[in-house]
Amino acid sequence: MRFGHTDAIWSGYPRLTAGALYATGVGADADVGPRVAAYTARAAARLAGATESEFPEVLAWRRAFSRMGLKPTQYRCAAESLLRRLRKEGKLPRIHPVVDLCNAVSVAYAVPVAVLDADRIAGPFLMVRHARGDERYTTFGGAIEHPAPGEVIFADSAGRAHARRWTNRQSGDSAVSEHTSTVLVVAEGMHDDGAQAVPELLKTVAEELSAHWSADPTSAILTPSSREFVFGC
């Protein structure tokens, strides 16, 4: 299977730094609590000095959302939403060990991280692209939506949208569950230091997955000259 971004995405968002990671052998049986606590503590320390809306990583995504025609205070990238929740509630939701780890790493780096059940993506590709308007998006509650034409989505070969408004909201179609054993993790930054932060973030995720499961992750940093991550072959 292949993951990547279209030419229009790369040309429209030249500050994008993207990375993807594929891992097998994960599950819902690991205790990730101490590591989640360590990463959220790192984020909380940063939040003690400024709100998430002041972080350069978040501001860069807000500018991208504005370029997409979205109100940044109405639709937030996933990292901003998690940071906001952490600031208000003092903790992050517990969903699944893999998701919990990636959410904690996401707030530590203030970079949005998507975690998808790779077995529930229709191949041969998953592409970040502009919607045509006929794609199907399934909410976590099971409702069906159709992204507006031009909206940036994660679209698979069957026309299913696995994320809406780019880094705003993932789909129930590929949500990680107790049955998940194979994951695709995507991290995307828009800020000036993204070229350094995203590879470091992916390395962190790979180390944590290897430490908690018998996983052997593979990953790649995507660039305008190397736009695809081939995985699961």
Average pLDDT, integer, range 148-160: 98
Q: Using 50, 70 and 90 to split pLDDT, how confident is the model at 226?
A: very high
Average per-residue pLDDT for the chain: 97
Average pLDDT, integer, range 108-114: 98
Percent of the chain past pLDDT 90, that is, above it, reads 99
Residue range 121-130, pLDDT digits in tens:
999 999 999 9
Residue range 192-222, pLDDT digits in tens:
999 999 999 999 999 999 999 999 999 999 9
Res. 233: pLDDT tops 90: no
Residue range 59-86, pLDDT digits in tens:
999 999 999 999 999 999 999 999 999 9
Q: In this predicted structure, what is the pLDDT of residue 28?
A: 97
Q: In this predicted structure, what is the pLDDT of residue 104?
A: 98
Average pLDDT, integer, range 52-61: 98
Average pLDDT, integer, range 97-108: 98
Q: In this predicted structure, what is the pLDDT of residue 145?
A: 98
Average pLDDT, integer, range 54-62: 98
Q: In this predicted structure, what is the pLDDT of residue 210?
A: 97
Q: What is the 3 state secondary structure string of the chain? A: CEEEECHHHHHHCCCCEEEEEEEECCCCCCCCHHHHHHHHHHHHHHHCCCCHHHCHHHHHHHHHHHHCCCCCCCCCCHHHHHHHHHHHHCCCCCCCHHHHHHHHHHHHHCCCEEEEEHHHCCCCEEEEEECCCCCEEECCCCCEECCCCCCEEEEECCCEEEEECCCCEECHHHCCCCCCCEEEEEEEECCCCHHHHHHHHHHHHHHHHHHHCCCCCEEEEEECCECEEECCC
Res. 55: pLDDT tops 80: yes
Its pTM stands at: 0.97
Residue range 9-48, pLDDT digits in tens:
999 999 999 999 999 999 999 999 999 999 999 999 999 9
Architecture of domain 2-223: 3-Layer(bba) Sandwich (3.50)
Average pLDDT, integer, range 91-106: 98
